[in-house]
Chain A
Amino acid sequence: MKRFFSVIFTLILLTLTVVPCLAGEKKDYSHLEGTTLNVYNWGEYISDGSEGTLDVNKEFEKRYGITINYSNYESNENMYNKLQAGGANYDVIIPSDYMIAKLIEEDMLAELDFSNIPNYKYVLEKYRGLYYDPDNKYSVPYTVGMVGLIYNTKIVKEAPDSWSALWDERYAGEILMFNNPRDAFGVAQCYLGQSINTSNLKDWDKAIEVLKEQNHLVSSYVMDEIFNKMENGEAALAPYYAGDFLTMYDTNPDLAFVYPKEGTNFFVDAMCVPKTAENKEAAELYINFMLEEKIAVANANYLCYATPHSNVLESDDYELKGDPVLYPDEENTPKTEMFHNLDYETQNYMNMLWNELKIEGNSNLDAYIGLSVTAVLIIVYALYKFIKKKKREAMY
C-alpha cells in the first residue's frame, strides 16, 4: 500500500512538472517584469483603444509588467534611416517585405527564437517562407495587402478597371498620387506592364515619362493626407492600400475600390527584431502576444488590413470576415508582384528621377520677375540713400 502511494505520488509529481514542459505551456517570463520594450511601428497600425477598441499595448503592459515605449514612422525608408543612423534603440519593428530583405542583406536583423513564439503556428502557410525570408528565421507576418484604385463614384461615373484612369484628362486636378517614390513608380510600372523590380534603367526612364505626363493632372502627392481628402470627397481617384480604403469607406460610402486589370503590388508587413535590440526576449514575447487570437482580431478589426492569421479568418468576432476587397475570390484576384530590394544604382536612379518629377512643372516666371523687381527696388533705394548722404555731406 505504501508503495502504491509512492508510485501515485511520483506520477502526480511527474505530471505536474513534465506535462507542462511537454505541452510547451507558459514559460516563465517574470524576470522581464519592469523592463522596457521599444516598439517602432507605422502610424495608425495597431488597435490603440480609441472608440472602444482594445488597447493592445496597455493589455500587454498589464499582463507582463513590461513598459512599452511606442513610436511611429511614416515609411519604410524613414524607419531604415533611423535604424541605420544608430542611436535609437528599437526592439520590435514592422517593415515591409523589400525592406526586410534589405535589412537581412545588411545583417541588421536578429534571428528569432521561435520557442518564444509558439503562436507562429497560426500564420497561414502561404505567408511563410516568402522570398525575403525563405527560411522563416527573421520575421513574423503582421498584415498583408494589395494596392488598388480608390475612386469616388459621385465624380467618376463609369467604374474604372485599369490604372489608365489615373491618366484620364477628365479628372485633371482631382487625382491623388503616392508621395513616396517606390509606390508611385510601382503604379506607373504596373500601368506600363513592366516589372516593379526592373533594374533596367531604360524602364525607369519610361516610367518617369508617364509620371511626368501625369504630373499636371495630379492635385497633390499624398500619404496619410489621403484619408481626409478622399473622405471629404476632395479627389476623384487615388491609388492606395486596400485596408485603408475600408477605413475611408466607413466615413464616405460614395467611395469604391477596384484592383486594376494590369496587376498590382502585393505586400507583407512583418514583425522583426533588429540586431541592436536590447530586450530581445520581451520582443519575442510581444510578437507572440500579437498573434494571440483575441489581440489579432482586435488589430485586424481596427486596421482593416488583411490578416495572415488562420484563426482570425474564421473568428466570429472578425468584422471583415470574407470581405471581397480584402479577400477577393480567385476570379477577382489580380496579378500581383511583390517589391524586391532594388540594387544601389537603381535605387539612386529612382530617387534622382523622383526629385526631377517633384520639381517638374514649377513654372517660376512669377518668382523670377518678383525677385528681379525686388532686387531692382533694393538697388534704387540704396542709390537714393547714397546720393542723399552725399548731398548732406556736401552741405556741411
Chain B
Amino acid sequence: MKKKSSLMTHIAGSPYIIWAVLFIIVPLCMVAYYAFTDKSGNFTFDNMLSIGKYTDTIILSIWLGLLATVISLVVAYPLAMIMAAKGPEKQSRMTMLIMLPMWMNFLLRTYSWMTILEDNGLLTTGLNYIVDCLNTLPNVSLDPVHLINTRGAVVLGMVYNFLPYMILPIYTVMLKADRSLVEAAQDLGGNKLDVFRNVTIPLSVPGIVSGFTMVFVPSVSTFFISQKLGGTGTTLIGDIIETQFQTANNFNLGASLSFVLMILIFICLAVMNKFSDDDGGVVI
C-alpha cells in the first residue's frame, strides 16, 4: 500500500519534475557553463574577474530594487489589511481593481508611464502648474518638476508594475489568519497597537516574505523599466545583461553577470528568510 502510494506520488509529480529539470535545472547549468567558459568553450575565470567593473551598477540595482520593495510594502500592507477586514463582496471587487491593470500588457503600461512622465506629459504639466502657482507667492521659488529619466521614475515604474504581487500574498495570509487570535489578544487587555504589533504583523510575515521576494527579484533584474523611464544615470545590471545577449553577442559575460546577480539575490532573500524564522520563533 505504502509502495503504491509513493508510486502514485511519483507519477503525479512527474510532469512538474520534468518541467523543472528541462526549464529550470538545465538552463541553470547552461548559465553556469557559459559563465565559466570563453567564446571557444575553454574554462576561464576572465568573465568573473571582469565583473568588478560593474560593482557600481549592481549596487545601484539592488538599492533601487530595495527602495521599490519597501515602498510597495508600505503601500500594500495597510491596503491588504483594510481589504481583509471588508465583506466578501467588497473584497472581490477590490481584488478585481488590483488585478485589472495586470490584464494589460506590462510593456504597454510602462510605455504609457513614459508618456505621462514626459516634460510635456499629463502629470508633469499638472505639477508644474501647481509649482507656477506657488511661485507667485512671495519668497517661494521652486524649480519646475522634471520626472522622466530620473531614478525616481524608475522606482515609480517598479512600484507600479509589481505592487499587486505585494498586495495579494499579504492579503491572502491575512484572510486566512484566525480572527480569534486577535480577539484573544484584545481580551487579554492589549490595546490596538499591541495587537497590531504582536499578533497581526507576526501572523502576516509569510505574506510579507513572499511579497518581498516577488517584488524585489523582478525589480533588481529589470531592464525594460530602466530603459524606458530612466535616463543616462540609471543603467541597471539588467540592461547590461540584456545588451550582452541582444547586441554584443557576448553570452559568456552576460551569463556570468546573471550568475553573480542570482547569487546576490539569493543572499538577500536568505537574510530576509532568516528574519521571518526568528520572528515566528519568538512569537508563536
**Could you tell me which A residues sit within 8 Å of B by CB distance?**
74-75, 77-78, 80-81, 84, 179-181, 215-216, 218-221, 225, 228-229, 232-234, 348, 351, 354-356, 358-359, 361-364, 366-368, 370-371, 374, 378, 381-382, 385, 388-389, 392
Contact = CB atoms under 8 A, between A and B. Distances in A.
B148 to A, nearest CB: 8
A104 to B, nearest CB: 17
Contact of B232 (A219, A228, A354): A219
A388 B240 CA distance: 44
B246 A364 contact: no
B235 interface: yes
Q: Which among A215, A356, A362 has the greatest number of chain B C-beta atoms within 10 A?
A: A362
Nearest to B229: A220
Contact of A385 (B232, B243, B278): B278
A388 B248 contact: no
A366 B234 CA distance: 12
Nearest to B281: A389
Contacts of A233: 120
Interface in B224-245: 227-228, 230-235, 239-240, 243, 245
A247 to B, nearest CB: 17
A181 B249 CA distance: 12
Interface of B: 53-54, 56-57, 59-60, 62-64, 66-67, 114-115, 118-121, 148-149, 227-228, 230-235, 239-240, 243, 245-250, 271, 275, 278, 282
Contacts of A218: 231-232
18 contacts: A74-B246, A181-B247, A218-B232, A219-B149, A221-B232, A229-B118, A232-B115, A233-B120, A234-B118, A358-B239, A358-B240, A359-B240, A361-B232, A362-B60, A362-B234, A364-B63, A385-B278, A385-B282
Please report whether the interface of chain A is mostly helix, strand, loop or mixed according to DSSP: helix
A173 to B, nearest CB: 8
A332 to B, nearest CB: 32
Contact of B243 (A216, A234, A354, A371): A354
Contacts of B231: 218-220
Contacts of A363: 233
Contacts of B243: 351, 354-355, 358
